[in-house]
């Protein structure tokens, strides 16, 4: 009946997925939103997005809009506009290319220059160590410390290929958005 509609909420959250080219941002979003994976690399030009609808609980439906920001440097200035109204971000690096972790502070700086929450605070951020299916011997040892130093909520090993930890990672951000107003 009509009364039921009063306490059912449908929310729209815009989140960013950022990091160097080739780390797997597009693949993560495809796997998470569509449950598909391709091993072919097709560079993202500018930006793209996908929406996943999540039934969070009996009262809450979340339309999660995931923005896939091109990692290639030549799109850097172009992508600034896509950061507007974002509520959270996943920073991605590639476990098989350690230099992509070194770029994370740069991506964080960009993020914090380009966006903030409606209350003026920094966006909540998580770190994704992607391609965990390939290279589990080579996990950087200082990630806890790195997150603490850089004000990153937490980190996860992920795989877009094998669908590892993507739901739990996104749920961490959703939980944050729902509970910090």
Question: Contact residues for Mg ion (CB under 5 A)?
Answer: 26, 44
> Can you read off the two tokens belonging to residue 139?
């996990």
Contact letters for ligand GTP, residues 12-51 (x by CB under 6 A)? ---------xxxxxxx----------xxxx-xx-------
CB of 110 or CB of 133, closer to ligand GTP? 133
As measured in angstroms, the least distance from the Cβ of 122 to ligand GTP is 23
Phi, psi of 25 (to 5 degrees): -60, -50
Report the C-alpha gap between 31 and 139 in whole angstroms: 22
Residues in the chain: 181
As measured in angstroms, the least distance from the Cβ of 53 to Mg ion is 22
Report the C-alpha gap between 48 and 46 in whole angstroms: 7
- Find the binder of ligand GTP among 117, 134, 147, 178 (CB under 6 A): 134
How many Å is the Cα radius of gyration of the chain? 16
> Can you read off the two tokens belonging to residue 48?
């793209």
For residue 133, state whether it binds ligand GTP (rule: CB under 6 A).
yes
User: Of all helices (H) and strands (E), which one includes residue 94?
Assistant: strand 88-94
Q: How many residues bind ligand GTP (CB under 6 A)?
A: 23
| Interacting residues toward ligand GTP by CB under 6 A | 21-27, 38-41, 43-44, 70-72, 130-131, 133-134, 159-161
């Amino acid at each position: 009946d009509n009364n039921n509609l009063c306490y059912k909420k449908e929310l729209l959250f815009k989140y960013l997925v950022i990091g160097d080219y080739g780390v797997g941002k597009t693949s993560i979003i495809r796997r998470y939103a569509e449950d598909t994976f391709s091993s072919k690399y097709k560079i993202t030009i500018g930006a793209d997005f996908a929406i996943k609808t999540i039934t969070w609980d009996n009262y809450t439906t979340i339309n999660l809009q995931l923005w896939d920001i091109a990692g290639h440097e030549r799109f850097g200035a172009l992508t600034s506009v896509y950061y507007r109204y974002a509520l959270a971000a996943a920073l991605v690096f590639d476990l098989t290319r350690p230099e992509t972790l070194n770029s994370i502070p740069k991506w964080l700086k960009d993020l914090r220059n380009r966006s903030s929450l409606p209350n003026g605070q920094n966006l909540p951020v998580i770190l994704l160590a992607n391609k965990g299916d390939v290279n589990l011997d080579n996990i950087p040892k200082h990630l806890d410390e790195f997150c603490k130093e850089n004000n990153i909520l937490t980190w996860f090993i992920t795989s877009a290929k094998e669908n590892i930890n993507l739901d739990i990672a996104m749920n961490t951000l959703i939980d944050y958005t729902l509970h910090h107003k």
